Homo-oligomer: A and B are copies of this chain.
Amino acid sequence: MTELELMGERAKEASRIMAVADTSRKNSALLHIAFEIDKRRDEWIAANLEDLKAARESGMRESLIDRLSLNDKRIDGIVESLKEIVALPDPIGETLDGVRRPNGLFIAKRRVPIGVIGIIYEARPNVTVDAAALTLKTGNAVILRGGKEAINSNKAVVNIMREAIASAGIPEDAVMLVTDTSRESATELMHLSKYLDVLIPRGGRNLIRSVVDNASVPVIRTGEGVCHIYVESSADLNLGAKILFNAKCQRPSVCNAAECVIIDEAVLKPFLDAAVPLLDDKHVELRCDEKALEVLGSRGVPATVEDWDTEYGDQILAVKTVKNEDEALRFISDHSTGHSEAIITGNYGAAERFLNEVDAAAVYVNASTRFTDGGEFGLGAEIGISTQKIHARGPMGLKELTSYKYVVYGNGQIRE
């Protein structure tokens, strides 16, 4: 047995106990984690300093170093979000459906944990705590595999969490960390079908694609977002400009940020007149098709075909002109990653058509795509945003970390 197989076996064993742990015990474990992280924060910060030192030596970009950094304020936030997860209702055990069949069998569909969940992710150490808390709350065991940049921070906090849950009577093996951060260990994790029920990648496009392409374990694909704002000719243009500015600029690095605005030709000039002054504030680069370039002159640059499929994650916006909603829907169908899509319109029929026909996790009328988020949707914390169509779509909260089983009560039924 390899080290990872042993880890899988121990996680599976822990998941059997987790599956029947009652809500109060799971919540008690989460509160122990919150308390211990709060109390032992110096330990975690010291380990984080080692990671930061190594990161600086390797020449990591300042924005990434910022994401890797822990401080008191961030740890306070992590402790707070643990308490919020405790406060959420436990979905496990819920009866989803039930039927008494003509032959007398009583069949109930009961919500149960998935089992052993793998999470493979990049630098941010807060993900380690988030992911562990959400999987514990839902009665799962978790195998975490963070990036090598955060390995010392992750070791420290997983150590704290394992001790905390053990003191609450939950098996410490319900939270496991893969400390070998080689490419080989990632590949092995992707094929650990005997122990792993699902693998969730969280991070950049390359990480996600690599997991989707290589894993034989079931995967939930997350996070790629080439999101569009479509400004239909009847739109309130000032409202549209504000929504576009918010969707593009409020936090450009995240997956629900807009990458492209699609504008009906009839309102091309007046809409750009309303929107560009806002975008100027953040020096947003505009990559334009021919018609938009005619209006914008030197304020725009010509778009290439790659622009229509690029998730910039940056202060860059593609600008596409269309004749009408037909063309806009076609363009979205050809270039959307199925994450979040919005129409700005005053026309009832145009709005309903957009909501019905656009194939994405979240479709909006007159609102920013930035709302596609577990907290904003009222699901509580989220483990990621699914861009695939099986199992879960859009923000994944606690329910999306569960499965179900059929519980069947008989009294001697046989099949004829």
Contact = CB atoms under 8 A, between A and B. Distances in A.
Interface of A: 16, 19-20, 99, 101, 105, 107, 112, 114-115, 193, 197-198, 212-214, 216, 218-221, 236, 239, 242-243, 245-247, 250, 333, 355-357, 359-368, 370-372, 376-378, 388-391, 393-394, 403-415
A408 B364 contact: yes
B390 A220 contact: yes
B114 A367 contact: no
A360 B216 contact: no
A103 to B, nearest CB: 8
Given A333-B16, A371-B105, A407-B355, A114 B390 contact: yes
Contacts of A414: 242-243, 245-247, 250, 367-368, 370
B115 A19 contact: no
Contact of A365 (B198, B246, B364, B408): B408
A191 to B, nearest CB: 8
Contacts of A219: 218
B198 A390 contact: yes
Contacts of A212: 193, 216
A213 to B, nearest CB: 5
Contacts of A250: 414-415
The 3 tightest CB contacts between A and B, nearest first, are A367-B410, A246-B414, A370-B415
Nearest to A247: B414
Given A20-B356, A365-B408, A390 B389 contact: no
Contact of A407 (B112, B214, B363): B363
Contacts of A198: 389-390
A405 B377 contact: no
A407 B408 CA distance: 36
Contacts of A368: 410, 413-415
B193 A410 contact: no
B408 A367 contact: yes
Nearest to A219: B218
A376 B412 contact: no
8 contacts: A16-B357, A101-B378, A218-B218, A218-B388, A218-B390, A363-B406, A363-B408, A365-B408
A76 to B, nearest CB: 21
A367 B246 CA distance: 58
Most chain B Cβ neighbours within 10 Å, of A213, A389, A394: A389
Contacts of A105: 367, 371
A218 B386 CA distance: 13
A218 B388 CA distance: 8
A193 B333 CA distance: 15
Given A16-B357, A101-B378, A367-B409, 17 more contacts: A114-B390, A115-B359, A197-B388, A218-B389, A218-B390, A220-B390, A243-B414, A245-B414, A247-B414, A363-B405, A363-B407, A363-B408, A365-B410, A367-B413, A367-B414, A390-B390, A393-B405
A306 to B, nearest CB: 16
A196 to B, nearest CB: 10
Given A219-B218, A250-B414, A391 B393 contact: no
A406 B362 contact: yes
A18 to B, nearest CB: 11
A197 B362 contact: no
Given A218-B218, A362-B408, A390-B198, A357 B19 contact: yes
Given A218-B388, A362-B405, A388-B197, A412 B367 contact: yes
